[in-house]
Amino acid sequence: MKLTLKVWRQKNATAKGSIVTYPIDGIDGDMSFLEMMDMLNNKLILEGDEPVTFDHDCREGICGSCSMFINGEAHGPDRLVTTCQLHMRKFKDGDTITIEPFRAAGFPVIKDLMVDRSSFDRIQHAGGFISVNTSGNTQDANSIPIEKENADDAFAAATCIGCGACVASCKNSSAMLFVGAKVSQFALLPQGEVEATTRVLNMVKQMDEEGFGNCTNTGACEVECPKGISLENIARMNREYLSASLKG
């Protein structure tokens, strides 16, 4: 496959970036998108050019590192996959592919396609945990009976890998699907009840302070989420937040 890549290049966080066009040849349909980027980088290195910086780690869709905005969509045109799981067979010979970093005030660009997503870490630090003393006297998790439906929903929420596709896709750069999932995974379990009130208040406060936008229920986040996190989690967070605000 022969392709034309239009890639966002930006030297550092403060530099002014621009789209640079690179032709590339010899792309196989069975390659992953990141392997194609590796090929581009090899070519750039051989030509004495600076390789394109991008985040990647596990390359099997579980770490949440890869974060490209491909042809106007987070993680590209395929559904329920991360960029590393996107195959080049989704594109045709002669295609032009625009590759940009995730864009949001809460995700400032570090270099090229790499963005700083530590805002998500700070939201997690604000309340995305349960305080359990694990010094040897922790009871077996299975000794607390949990309804199957709640266990399943909590697990589904916990599959969020924090990649930020929800923010990148949302026209408002809202982080509510991420925060909704992180609130829900505890709200559904008895272990999460103890800190339920402070958790949602603190996490939402931190989310707002990080400069993410407001949710207008377009549903783009759910469609683009590689893990299929449901909008139900946002509704649950809204409920939790309202009840916590009334209590607090």
| Residue 53 is a binding residue for other proteins (CB under 8 A) | no
Tell me: does residue 103 bind other proteins (CB under 8 A): yes
- Give the C-alpha separation, 127 to 198, whole Å: 7
Q: Copy the structure tokens of residue 40.
A: 């581009």
Per CB under 8 A, the list member of 23, 29, 72, 228 interacting with other proteins is 72
Tokens 């809202």 found at: 174
* CA distance linking residue 176 with residue 194, whole number of Å: 22
**Per CB under 8 A, does 21 bind other proteins?**
no
**Interface with other proteins includes 196 (CB under 8 A)?**
no
Q: How many CA atoms lie within 13 A of 140 on its CB side?
A: 3
Nearest distance, CB of residue 7 and other proteins, angstroms: 10
CB 119 within 8 A of CB 210: yes
Residue of the chain from 6, 43, 59, 90 that contacts other proteins (CB under 8 A):
6
Q: Does 238 bind other proteins (CB under 8 A)?
A: yes
Give me the least distance between CB of 126 and other proteins, in Å please.
Answer: 13
- Strand 96-101 to 3-9 pairing: parallel
Interface size with other proteins, residues (CB under 8 A): 51
Of 139, 213, 141, the residue nearest 177 (C-alpha): 213
> Among residues 30 and 112, whose Cβ is nearest to other proteins?
112
Judge whether 25 and 116 are in contact, CB under 8 Å: no
Which is closer to other proteins, CB of 42 or CB of 214? 214
Judged by CB under 8 A, which of 117, 199, 227, 236 binds other proteins?
Answer: 236
Q: Which of 72, 195, 78 shows the shortest CA–CA distance to 128?
A: 195
Place of tokens 């783009």: 220
Interaction between residue 219 and other proteins (CB under 8 A):
yes
Residues near other proteins (CB under 8 A):
6, 8, 19, 69, 71-73, 77, 98, 100, 103-106, 109, 169, 171-174, 176, 204-205, 207-208, 211-220, 223-224, 231-232, 234-242, 245-246, 248
